[in-house]
Structures are given as structure tokens and as C-alpha cells.
Chains A and B, each alone.
Chain A
Amino acid sequence: MTNTIIMDDQLPTRPRVSVSAPSPSASAGTPQPIERPAPALHVGDLHAHYGDTHAVKGVTIDYAPNEVTAMIGPSGCGKSTVLRCLNRMHEEIAGAHVTGSVRLDETDIYGPEVDVVAVRRAIGMVFQKPNPFPTMSIYDNVAAGLKLNGVKGVDLDERVEQSLRGAGLWDEVSDRLRAPGIGLSGGQQQRLCIARTIAVQPDVILMDEPCSALDPIATLKVEELIAQLKTRFTIVIVTHNLQQAARVADSTAFFLLGELVEHASTDQMFTNPGDERTERYVTGRFG
């Protein structure tokens, strides 16, 4: 008496490959071709002070070219200060001073012969709260970096259009370039500021919590923009929003109390961070 027995599974052969952690050079999202090679930034033993307060304590970090590096950490950890040291904005604050080196490729921007103004043209910055110039039209705002500095020999119309396209704003404002810059919505204003920054054709773009003042949709638009911009610039972004860092950055650096705790690929940071403090911060376990 034979009975047909229906066995459940056909046992699959188990894979023999050993899967280890993803390689550190993995990029966020699908890799895009580099349009314009940008330089790397190397920071060596950076210390920054506000008067007596020692805000940044011996930070050494490399920002890879044509990649987005995010700096995360709790309030007061020094990440914004580090950012401002990268384009020498920190020294504009009364009583502030910096030691250490910040090299754009091979040149130390804190070198004795270096012109601060030139540094800031090579390393641009986008701020947390959109700050278009209120007296200027959209066109003038984008051209401001060129006009204010008396740059000659540039076709302004072309540069303005290029920059607005680069910021994903051209389609929305091409018919009202002479309208005041402050008439735009918050998200548009921030993209205007980005257009203004890239019009000067810097090598590096620094972003200080660029989306904190924006609504979710405007935030996502700016994040898309960042993904496109990295094919032409090296980007360093400070953010409080861990999910944003996870979405946008190729590598992430975690700061705590003025020190760099860990710097790894974003993948690594959010799946298997090396330092206990990073793990606690990233999973949100405080107190």
C-alpha cells in the first residue's frame, strides 16, 4: 500500500559565500558619473576657541572629493564650529581663534599668505535659515556673488541661468527673474541661496542644517539637489536629522563634546557602528 507523501520543502542549497560588512567606499544610492572633479578637504588637528571656551578639540578628518560627508552629533558637540572653520567664517566672531590646518588639496587655507576672501570663494556656504538679500531681485541675488566682488568677463545671464538650473529653480522662476528674492516660499528661497552659492563656482559647498527651516517636501527637493550637486562639488553637511544623514551622505562623522568620535561610511554608521557612543546616539538612547 503505497501512499504518496507530499513533503513540504525541497531543501534549498545553502549559500557558501561569507558575507562581511559592506566596503567603506560604498556610495549612497546609485553612483552617478562625476561631472567636475572637486578637490578633497583635509583637516589636521583642528582646535577652535570662542574666547576661553574650547569648542573643537583636535579634530582630524578627511572629506572625500565629490562625495557628501555628513557631520552629526548632539547640540554643542562642535560640528557647526568645525564647519565654520572650513571656510574661515569662525574667525569673524569676536574673540574666536583657530589652530591647526585645513588643506584644500595641498594648500592650507590658514596659511600666512592665503587671502580669506579667496578661500570663501572656493569654499561656499549655505545657511540654516534661507537668507536672500532683501533689496535684490532673484536675478541679482544669484549674481550677487559675482557683482559684489566685481568679477568681470562673465556672462551674467548665462551664469544666472546655469546656477538656477543647477539649483532646480529655473523652471519655477524663469518668468520672474526681476521679482524680489524674498517673495519666494521658504524652500524656494533656500534653493535660491544654493543657486547664489554655486554661481561663484566654488570647489566645496558647506551646508549648515540647510533643511531645518523647511517643510518636508521642500526638504526632499533640497536632498535631491544635493545628490546631483555632488557630481560637481565636494559637499559637507551638518545635520540634526539622522534620517537625512542616512539618506543623503556617503560617509558620516559623529562628534561629541568637541571631538570626532567616529567617521565611517553611512552604511556602516547606521547598521554596525564601531563606537559604543555612536551606537547610543544613532539609536537614540540618551539618559
Chain B
Amino acid sequence: MAAATRQQLAEELGHIEAQALGGLDLVVGQLDRTLEALETQDLDLAALVVADDDRIDGRYLEVHQALLSLLARQAPVAGDLRLVAALLHAMKDIERMGDQCVNIAKTIPLAGHEPPRSPEIVDCVLRMGAVAREEILQAKAAFAARDAVLAEDLVRRDRAVNALNREVFRRALDAGADEEAREWAMLQVMAARALERIGDHAVDIGEQTAFVVTGLFREFTDGSQPHVGEGA
């Protein structure tokens, strides 16, 4: 039988996709370490997370360059072109997710070495982290399988993260009278916010999956997202 045509394009695309989705694995690793550092107040682990972000940045550059080269040499169209666009977009999301982990890790030394003022807030934050982790893995699975339904389901998961974010915010408001307590609470709000952004980026990747499959780019959620500051 005749050999399949455009083998090289298919192989290259496959390799780049593996690299990009591998970036999601790197993010999950970073997130795990961040959450552990948050829980145990481990400063060394936090510093490791900050340093290790270089790997994710490096992966971004790799994938970006490979995609540019592919566009120039292979002139992909239709489904291939959509995949390239989606990978570019998703890789940016992955890089941002890495940055958000760094943001969280940076709050840890600043929070001080005293026991946390509010175990409930910490618990919320850690739960947010767990759901965010699930979202990342689900986004990866959906993209790899080109499953638009699974991708859209991310919205449901993300709502939980958003709800927890709002709870952290509420609890932080009642953090306490003294300055140190308030400062600590602010840092927790920032960490929560960073986790909420990670969740959003995972949903973005889900939208890219839907784009690859259907050719239509559509925001999964209608209506406005509640911003920080708007109560719920």
C-alpha cells in the first residue's frame, strides 16, 4: 500500500503536542510542591518552586519555536492549523500557570513562621489547590483525547474553585484586628487568587480543545465572572 502522506508533519505535530501536554505535567508537579510548602511552611521547597519555573519557561520557548518552524516549513491548514493555534494558546496558559505557582510560593516566606491564624482559610486554600490539580489533569486528558464534552465539564469543576475563592475572601475579611493578622490574611487571599487563575487557565485550555474539535472558538461561560470585590 502507498505510504501515508505528510508523515513528517503528523510526526512533528505529535511530538510538539506531547511536549506541550508534558508542560502540564510539569505544572502539576510545581503545584504539588507549592501546596506542600504552603501546608508545611517549607521555605526550601518554596524556593525550589521559584527556581524550577525556569523549566516551564524553557518548555514554553521550545514549543513556541517548534510551532513557528512548523508553520514556516509545512504550511498546515484546516485541522492541523487549528491544532497549531490551540497549542500556541495553551502553551501560554501553561506558562502562566507556572508563574502563578511561583506567585503562591513567594507568599510563603512572607507569611512568617508563626502558626497560621486561621486553619479554616488554609484548609480552603489547600482544597482549592486539590481541585485545581484535578482541573489541570482533566484539561490534559480532554486535549489529548480531543474530547470537547470533557473539556466543557471543566467549567463545572472551576465553579468549585471560584466558590472556595470567595469563601477565602470572606473569611479573610474577619481575619482579626492586628496588622500581622491582616497581612497574613491578605497573603492567603493572594494565594487563593493565584489558584483561581490556575483554574481559569485550565478552562482556557478546555476552550482550545473545543476549538480544535469544532473549529469554533467559544467562551464556555456566559455572563460575567464575579470579580474580586463583588460579593456573592
Contacts and interface: CB of A to CB of B under 8 A. Distances in A.
A189 B79 CA distance: 39
Contacts of A279: 78-79
A249 to B, nearest CB: 13
B6 A9 contact: no
Nearest to A273: B78
Contact of B4 (A15, A19, A242, A287): A287
B121 to A, nearest CB: 18
Determine the interface band of chain B, counting residues with CB < 8 A from chain A.
35 or more
B3 A282 contact: no
A75 interface: no
B1 to A, nearest CB: 7
Interface in B57-111: 75-82, 96, 99-100, 102-103, 106-107, 110
A105 B20 CA distance: 53
B101 to A, nearest CB: 11
Consensus secondary structure, chain B interface: helix
Given A270-B77, A271-B78, A283-B76, A5 B110 contact: yes
B131 interface: no
B106 to A, nearest CB: 7
Contact of A272 (B2, B82, B190): B82
Contact of B216 (A7, A9, A20, A246): A20
Given A8-B99, A284-B9, A270 B106 contact: no
A271 B225 contact: no
A18 interface: yes
B219 A16 contact: yes
Contact of B5 (A242, A271, A286): A286
Contacts of A271: 77-78, 81-82, 215
Interface of A: 2-3, 5, 7-9, 11, 14-16, 18-21, 242-243, 246, 269-273, 278-279, 282-287
Given A8-B103, A16-B219, 9 more contacts: A3-B110, A5-B107, A8-B100, A8-B102, A11-B197, A15-B219, A272-B216, A273-B78, A282-B77
Interface of B: 1-6, 9-10, 75-82, 96, 99-100, 102-103, 106-107, 110, 183, 190, 197, 214-219, 224-225
The 6 closest A-B pairs by CB, nearest first: A272-B215, A287-B2, A284-B6, A270-B77, A286-B5, A19-B217
